[in-house]
């Protein structure tokens, strides 16, 4: 019921696997299928630019005495 019934009813399902790699592969396959069904463009990791980790990486790369805890501007490159 959880896997087949839910998928027919709401388009999603719960699956259980021993290997996390199988969970990730099945999830990404399901997302790609739903994107195609909705007529959305294929996933492109370069489409939206940098991840949200970039400012944190810049913050921690800055020496502690130069860090500004109250402004992100010091760590984000202005375009």
Q: Where are the domains of the chain?
A: 4-37, 49-79
Q: Compare 48 and 58 and report the one with higher pLDDT.
A: 58
Tell whether the model's pLDDT for residue 19 goes beyond 90: yes
pLDDT at 79: 44
What band does 21 get if pLDDT is binned at 50, 70 and 90? very high
Q: Which of 23, 22, 4, 24 is nearest to 13 (CA)?
A: 4
75 touches 57 (CB < 8 A): no
Q: What is the mean pLDDT of the chain?
A: 79
Six-digit token pair at 62? 């800055």
pLDDT at 7: 78
Whole-number Å distance between alpha carbons of 48 and 71: 23
């Amino acid at each position: 019921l959880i896997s087949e019934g839910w998928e027919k009813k709401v388009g999603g399902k719960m699956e259980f696997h021993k290997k996390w790699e199988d969970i990730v592969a099945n999830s990404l396959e399901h997302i790609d299928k739903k994107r195609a069904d909705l007529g959305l463009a294929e996933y492109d990791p370069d489409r939206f630019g940098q991840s949200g980790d970039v400012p944190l990486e810049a913050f921690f790369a800055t020496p502690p005495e130069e860090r500004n805890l109250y402004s992100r501007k010091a760590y984000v490159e202005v375009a």
